[in-house]
Structure 1
């Protein structure tokens, strides 16, 4: 199994105060048990570090960043063709409240043949991807 990992999932895992924390922990346990391949982007990494630092401080932001830079995560680094595709998606989905980071994620997923995201951002579903949920919810 290959999953795309979004900022919203990482933040939910790290923050017990997050409304999705318990669900994220359950999904994470299943991901680890299955040995899933995890893919994210450099923009998600940057976003995670910014959000975690703002909510929980520098030390936790460093730990979060270091975790994403380690196995089992594969980081896709943005290049010009990927940026061009993301920009095309950003313009296409003008009626959605998307960030360019979201659109980079949406451009990466089909390139890597990924159809499911570990995310709590419903925009993934709105543009046609599935969201990872605990097995008992499936």
Structure 2
């Protein structure tokens, strides 16, 4: 099974904005991961946040380029949060606050 690597908002933004301090590093990493057959995983929430941030910092054109990149890159998988996952995440979050235990990893939401 191919490895799955989660990409958050900071990763997508650095990838699309050449002025970002992490641009060169994330670009090289993403190229390598895709070449090795890894799947880049993100969520609909992260895409929304990434596009909003990109539009605010770099303009509408950059936000559209990010959307195009996400749609055209074969190695990107989008996990849709939906109401069931969102409710599960809230329960886990509340539980960790009550129990003062560290947040669980993403597989706990499945």
TM-score in same-fold range (> 0.5): yes
- Evaluate the alpha carbon distance shift between residue 62 and residue 33 of structure 1 in structure 2; reply closer, same or farther with a 3 A threshold: same
Distance 1:47 1:69 in 2: 16
Q: Between Structure 1 and Structure 2, whose CA radius of gyration is higher?
A: 2
Is the partner of 2:12 in helix, strand or coil? helix
RMSD over aligned Cα, in angstroms? 2.6
Whole-Å Cα distance in 2 between the matches of residues 69 and 87 of structure 1?
29
Distance 1:4 1:43 in 2: 13
Distance 1:112 1:2, change over 3 A: farther
Unaligned runs of 5+ residues in structure 1 are 95-102, 114-138
Q: Aligned pairs, how many? A: 102
Among 29, 47, 57, the residue aligned to 2:49: 47
Tell which has more relative contact order, 1 or 2 (C-alpha 8 A, sep 6+). Answer: 1
**Structure 2: stretches of 5+ with no match in the other structure:** none
Normalising by the residue count of structure 2, what TM-score does the alignment of the two structures yield?
Answer: 0.76
Residues 69 and 93 of structure 1: CA distance in aligned 2, closer, same or farther (over 3 Å): farther
4+ aligned runs moved over 6 Å, structure 1: none
- Normalised to the residue count of structure 1, the TM-score between the two structures is 0.63
Instruction: Give SS of 1:19's match.
Output: coil
Greater percentage in helix = 2
Listed one character per residue, the Cα deviations across residues 25-68 of structure 1 (whole Å, up to 9, x for unaligned) are 22112112212112111001101110110111111101101222
**Partner Cα separation in structure 2 for residue 50 and residue 36 of structure 1:** 26
Task: Say whether residues 1:29 and 2:28 are aligned partners.
Answer: no
Q: Indicate if the aligned counterparts of 2:89 and 2:109 stay in contact, CA closer than 8 A.
A: no
Which residue of the partner structure matches residue 86 of structure 1? 89
